[in-house]
Every structure is written in structure tokens, then in C-alpha cells.
Amino acid sequence: MTDRFIARRRAWHSAALLAGAALALAAPLAHAKEKALQPYKARYQVTFRGLSGGQIESSLSRGSAPGQWLYETRAFPSLLGRVAVSPHARERSTMQVTPTGVRPLTFDFNDGSDSSSKDVRFRFDWTAGRVQGEAEGVPFELAVQPGTQDTASVQAAMIIELLAGRSPAGFPILTGRRLREYRYWYEGKATVMTPFGQFEAVVWANQRDGSTRVTKVWHAPALGYVPVQAIQYRKGQAETQMKLLALTREQ
């Protein structure tokens, strides 16, 4: 694995993990009884160390079975951003969403190149408690415990927890072919100005065990906890930042 590839994967996953936070676009609090996910499409401005990286688009659509959803992230990088992320890159995840939690089913990352050597795909078998797939050309199979998420489904899991009034302490997350523990904690409330408007938000942070990176996400209760801003910090310094640019809800 080359240093350039590692940098590209980190850049994509930084953006994807942040953009994935837009997954659970629930109804506004004015319709508090409708605590269910709704199909949507959202755009975020992305900057890296103050320089424009382009945009990220996240979409959520209903699957073919009751309670099943498809989540997709697409990159629209600037000329500078194309050094790290291809405009043809895609991340897709299918999952089951219930009031008690989110259970991922399949995950597929395509880096946008002609080669499949850098792609990641896997499938969960919850009856057997296993996940099986291939990451960067290497097959793998792991045991998974209930509550395990992928980098997309964890965003839905977080929103479901907030809508239910719970305070998540963390999630095991499958990244590539490795299972990592992420802890989550509440950091208070804040007012955020974005291109889409000004919002009151609750701030949640998360960090992988052993990592120097911390991601903070500003969830707007008035938008059903849709994130309106996300920032990833490395050793206390802001690196990747996203702000909500546009949001449409689909029926």
C-alpha cells in the first residue's frame, strides 16, 4: 500500500465519515411524533486546512424491504481535491433501521479508478455473527457483535440514538478489514452559521481508540438532528471541515 493511497483513503474516509452524518434526516421537532427517517439529498462544502476541497453529496433512499435503507456518498472534488479523491468515487451501504437501532447489511466502496485493487466491499451475516468481504484486494472474515457498524451505518445509528433521547457511549466500526472501537461524548450546545442558514445545535464528538484525530458534529434539533457542520481535528488542529450547503427531502 503506497503512501499516496493511504493519504487518498484517509481523505475519503474523513469526508465520508463526516458526510455520512447527514444520513438520518428525520422530521423537524415541530412534528415530534414523526421520529422516522425520511429520504433526502444533502450537499456539504468541504475544506481541508482552509482550502476548498469541493463538495460531498449524501443521499438516503428506501430499500426494497420494510425497514431497509440505501445510503450513498458521492464526491464532487475541486481541482485541488482531486489529488486525494476521484470524482467517480462512491460509497454505498444498505442497512436495516429500527427504533431500537441500526443493523448494517452490505457495504461497498469504489475509489473511482479502473482497478478494483483499492475497493472495499463486505456483507454481514447476523445469524452467524460474521462479516465477510474483500478490502484492497485482500479477502477477510471477522466475528462481529450486535451493534457493530460500518462507516455509513454508524451515522444512522447515532441519529437514532439522539431521536430516542439516548446518549451513545460508542460503537465498534468496521473500517476496511479492521474492527475498531470509537467512543462518543456530548460537548454541549452551540449556534452555527452555514450556507443553508443559522441553526442551534448539539455538539457530539467521537474518537477512535489510539488515534490523535477527533471528529465533532453539530446536530440541529430543528432539522431532526441533521448535522449542519462537522470538523475533524488532528492533534487539536482543525483539518477537514464540512458545512451544510443544501438539503432536499424526497417522498
- Please list, in sequence order, all residues whose beta carbon lies within 8 angstroms of the beta carbon of residue 23, skipping any fewer than 6 positions away: 37, 58, 60, 71, 152, 155, 156, 159
Residue 36 pLDDT more than 80? no
Confidence of residue 53 (pLDDT cuts 50, 70, 90): confident
The string over 194-205, giving b where at least 16 C-beta atoms fall within 10 Å of a residue's C-beta and e elsewhere, is bebeebebbbbe
**Reported confidence tier of residue 49, pLDDT bands at 50, 70, 90:** confident
Answer whether 193's CB lies under 8 Å from 178's CB. no
Task: Return the CATH architecture of domain 3-249.
Answer: Beta Barrel (2.40)
- The pLDDT tens digits for 129-178 are 999 999 988 999 999 999 999 998 888 788 778 888 889 999 999 998 89
156 phi and psi angles, rounded to 5 deg: -65, -40
Instruction: Show the cell assigned to 22.
Output: 447527514
State the Cα–Cα distance between residues 166 and 224, nearest whole angstrom: 14
pLDDT, tens only, 187-216:
999 999 999 999 999 999 999 999 999 999
Least confident residue range of 91-95, 112-116, 151-155: 112-116
Instruction: Say which range, 114-123, 130-139, 146-155, 230-239, has the weakest mean pLDDT.
Output: 114-123
Give the model's confidence band at 101: pLDDT under 50 very low, under 70 low, under 90 confident, else very high: confident
Q: Would the pLDDT of 2 be above 60?
A: no
Instruction: Give phi and psi for 162, each to the nearest 5.
Output: -65, -40
